[in-house]
Amino acid sequence: MEQTPQKLEMFYEGKAKKLYTTSDPDLVIAYFKDDATAFNAKKRGTIEDKGVVNNRISEIFFRLLEREGIKTHFVRRLNDREMLCRRLEIVPVEVVVRNILAGSMAKRLGREEGEALKRPVIEYYYKSDALDDPLINADHVLVFGWATTGELRRIDTLASRTNDIMRRFLDERGILLVDFKLEFGRHKGEILLGDEICPDTCRFWDKETRKKLDKDRFRRDLGEVEDAYHEMLARVSR
């Protein structure tokens, strides 16, 4: 059994996770919280056991992607709320992949939510809570030095492949992958997929009923939030 490095001090706390250094400088421990936020933390609340569910779902998706050749920061899940990860130098660009029109894209373009897109759309957002994560394009990423041309090309490739793998996996379980957010970072000069993949960062709809099984239930006060998270865990655990 692999030895787990010693957990040291917290060096970052975000909306959904806390990150801790360890006795291995290349590894960190991510702690998943139950805190829920929406609209860049303008709406706040708690979703019971969210951290436990998101930790487990993220493990399932990271293991799936690793099997398919996508390199991620995931090392292993340590317990209900903690995951051991490779330490990344985060690229300050949130990558959103959209398959079905929803959320901010529907609002921005004045189109009805639920419209299937002819092909996946990849969007970039500058990772800045203070600026409400503004929509940007590839030129911004390159001009401001957030990533190189080669890194951005690699990020696009990884995002597209992740979308293909997850769509196929979820379709087999009766789930539509509407859209999702990814974050990437550098580890020893290589771009790896980081952050988490869960109902906080993805839109999941039931394929038959189009019932929302993600954080939109919290954002939009739809109720049954905890039930939706647990249902997603049950579906992806099959």
pLDDT value of residue 38: 85
pLDDT value of residue 41: 73
Whether the CB-CB separation of 134 and 128 falls below 8 Å is answered with: yes
Residue whose entry in the numeric block shows the structure tokens 């317990």: 79
What is the structure's pLDDT at 137? 98
The CATH architecture that domain 7-86 belongs to is 2-Layer Sandwich (3.30)
**Superfamily of domain 90-224 in the CATH hierarchy:** ATP-grasp fold, B domain (3.30.470.20)
Encode pLDDT of 76-90 as tens digits: 999 999 999 999 999
Q: Which residues of the chain have pLDDT under 50?
A: none
Contact yes or no for 176/210 (Cβ under 8 A): yes
Q: For the chain, what are the domain ranges?
A: 7-86, 90-224
CA distance 65 to 142: 27
Q: What is the pTM assigned to this prediction?
A: 0.95
Return the pLDDT at 1.
55
Closest CA to 47 of 173, 237, 175, 213: 213
